[in-house]
A and B are shown apart, each in its own frame.
Chain A
Amino acid sequence: MSNFRFTSQPIDGGALRAELIDTHCGGFTCFEGWVRNHNEGLEVTHLEYEAFEALGVREGERVVAEACERFGVTRALCVHRVGDLQLREIAVWVGVAAAHRDEAFKACRYIIDEVKHRVPIWKKEHYVSGDSGWVNCERCATHAHEHDHSHAHHDHG
């Protein structure tokens, strides 16, 4: 099965971890991105994720393959949720199994950072006030008229 997937079902980290267990590996690292109740000073009630899945799977697979090659890890997997998510749910799960911990940590960090920047996934935040907005898009839309490119990389951590 592909090492990058989208799912509209709640992510079960335990089941994904079980996919990576390998007797060659001495270490496993995992990153879970959770839905939190605030962003940039606004109270968030829930999120909506949308993906261009055909390209997203290709680009996500490239990211995971790059991490495996660059850091020499044995197994890696990334799963991203799409659809409506409530607070506390897992939005993205990254797991890496490797012979040693150092490459596992590095590969895990690489995958989540690259996925956030490169894979066509969009997040809409719904706020307590009733407003909502597409993260990274609304600011661009406003600033486009001012020719402000200072946030061109859309890195909001």
Chain B
Amino acid sequence: MTAPLYGLVLAGGRSTRMGEDKAALEYGGRSQLERAFALLTPLLSRCFVSVRKDQHDALRGRFPQIADSAEVAGPAAGILSALSAFPEAAWLVVACDLPFLDAATLQFLIARRDPAQLATAFRSSHDGLPEPVCAIYEPAAASALQTFMSGGRNCPRKFLIQSPVLLLDQPRAEALDNVNTPGELDDARKRLGAAAGTGPRALKVQYYALLREQAGRRDEAVTSTAATPRELFAELAARHSFTLAPEHLKVAVNAEFCDWSRPLQAGDQVVFIPPVAGG
């Protein structure tokens, strides 16, 4: 029987080269850790954040955690701790510092998972070697990884190289580019900004109740440079003299509740939701 697939975001790194906590770095108003966790959540039944044994902070504390069971450093320790904590489960493991990772890449990996191997992983688009920190580890990988690490080795890439593993080509070559230094961070933010389109975007806004009356219309086609619903509301509130403040509203994009800092994309349908009063 195929093991259930859980999600693990690796966030126990010491971020030595970056000089600040990589999990907390923000792109488009959201931390890398939140972004990675939000990518996994809709695809998997349970998700956890992997942390070091001694690591307690507010950002990580918001998520279910698995702490490293040993003092050994590195991603292999986090993967082994998850495999040991839930021996019945397979794990889709992702590093928190992959700002270009997208749902399509994860869905591609999940769809091609081979439970008969110890792992299903991507071939690096840079050097052709297995990518250990966006991969699925089957329950049987636990004892093999334990043996590997008991020999004093802790490189998960070397573990995958010597194990029976299904290797896949990445559907998007840049999806697994990671960010380790301040220079790479600047570059990543520029690339993501360009992809999101910093120029004006065509959006559709629908108004209800008090906002509909104050705007004098049910809907409106808006061309805006606003990157988030928060910025868009500020722009429209100035135009229509809305009396409701954003703290009294919720927001939905494409008919689902969302965060005020969700990045807006061309074609999005945005609704600001005044205080409700059903019944």
Contact = CB atoms under 8 A, between A and B. Distances in A.
Interface in B209-254: 209-210, 212, 243-245, 247-248, 252
B278 interface: yes
Contacts of A92: 278-279
Interface stretch (B10-18, B47-55, B107-115, B267-275): B267-275
Interface string A48-64: 01111011001100000
Contact of B252 (A52, A117, A134, A135): A52
B278 A116 contact: yes
Nearest to A115: B278
Interface stretch (A8-16, A21-29, A67-75, A137-145): A137-145
B278 A136 contact: no
A26 to B, nearest CB: 27
Contacts of A55: 252, 255-257, 271
B278 A121 contact: yes
Interface in B73-96: none
B244 A141 contact: yes
B265 interface: no
Interface residues of A, number: 36
Contacts of A123: 277-278
B180 interface: no
B247 A118 contact: no
By secondary structure, the B interface counts as loop
A52 B248 contact: no
Interface string A138-154: 10111010000100101
B206 interface: yes
Contact of B271 (A52, A117, A135, A156): A52
Of B244, B248, B256, B278, the most chain A CB neighbours within 10 A belong to: B278
Contacts of B212: 50
Of A54, A92, A156, the most chain B CB neighbours within 10 A belong to: A54
B27 to A, nearest CB: 27
A150 to B, nearest CB: 12
A136 B271 CA distance: 18
Interface in B34-80: none
By secondary structure, the A interface counts as mixed
A33 interface: yes
B156 to A, nearest CB: 39
B104 to A, nearest CB: 24
Nearest to B255: A54
Given A134-B209, A141-B210, A119 B245 contact: no
A146 to B, nearest CB: 11
A100 to B, nearest CB: 26
Contacts of A112: 279
A91 interface: yes
B148 interface: no
B255 A58 contact: yes
27 contacts: A49-B278, A51-B278, A52-B252, A52-B255, A55-B252, A55-B255, A58-B256, A59-B257, A92-B279, A115-B279, A117-B276, A118-B276, A122-B209, A122-B210, A123-B278, A134-B274, A136-B277, A140-B245, A140-B275, A141-B243, A141-B244, A141-B248, A144-B243, A144-B247, A152-B248, A154-B276, A156-B277
Q: Which 3 A-B pairs have the closest CB atoms?
A: A122-B209, A121-B278, A141-B243
Interface of B: 206, 208-210, 212, 243-245, 247-248, 252, 255-257, 271, 273-279
